[in-house]
Amino acid sequence: EPGAASSVVQAAANMLGGLDGLVNNAGGMLGRIASTDMPPGHFDEVVNLNARSVWEATVAAHPFLKAAGGYVINTSSVAARTGGGAGAVLYAATKSFVSSLTRGHAKEFVRDGIRVNAVAPGLIQTPFHDKYTPPELLAQQTASVPMGREGTPEECVGAFLFLASPALSGYITGQIIEVRNAKEATIDFWGVRKLVRLDNLTERAVAGDYVIDHGGYAVRVIPTRDVADTQLLFDVIKGFDARDPY
């Protein structure tokens, strides 16, 4: 409900005598529903839970965090970047709000000594999927993960601890750490622009080109300085995925 997050923050600050940090972790899908099938009130419920709560809690915590030189860690999702799966468009949109708010508040609050970052989990084994993701859909999603399994909540903890520690991340703000298996790897090839044809590789590539699209992986060329020997590129590609011999 509007105002609920602010009340929780104020109560916590009163009980603890202030706040060192704020973790905005509340959120949910509240059902996989297509945009055109959404019942009255569902939009407001999801937005209030995933977006309004983050806004209200952060604003309420701001004076305490300013006094402490504290931090905010928001829980976003990889869905913020991908647009979400079937029936999850609204959920993904609210998480995009969280990611954008993270970057905006980082710039706005830096003068107050407050760091603002986010953790964006990928496919994580939680009651979220038990409740909202059909087994067949979960199986498809899991099959697309290079490690072949869902992550666990415990495997997300490190990212939160890292961002909460001024010793480890005191110079980091406005960043979103994704806890996931990457389907796409960006590798610096130091300026390699021409490729000799090898299996499904193209003959030429420039900055931003995808030079591999094989087995669910893609590699992008990012020129930074000239390198004549394209064998370097092939050596990197061959070692990129041990399951694929090239």
Residues tagged active-site:
91
Pairing type for strands 176-179 and 115-121 reads parallel
Contact partners, residue 23, CB within 8 Å, separation at least 6: 72, 73, 74, 75, 160, 164
DSSP state letters, the chain:
-TTHHHHHHHHHHHHHTS-SEEEE-----S----GGGPPTTHHHHHHIIIIIHHHHHHHHHHHHHHHHT-EEEEE--THHHH--STT-HHHHHHHHHHHHHHHHHHHHHGGGT-EEEEEEE-SB-SHHHHHHS-HHHHHHHHHTSTTSS-B-THHHHHHHHHHH-HHHHTT--S-EEEES--SEEE---TT--B----TT--SB--TT-EEEEETTEEEE---SS----THHHHHHHHHH-TT---
The CA distance from 72 to 95, in Å, is 16
Q: What is the largest CA-CA distance in the chain?
A: 66
Both tokens of 85, joined, read 């799966």
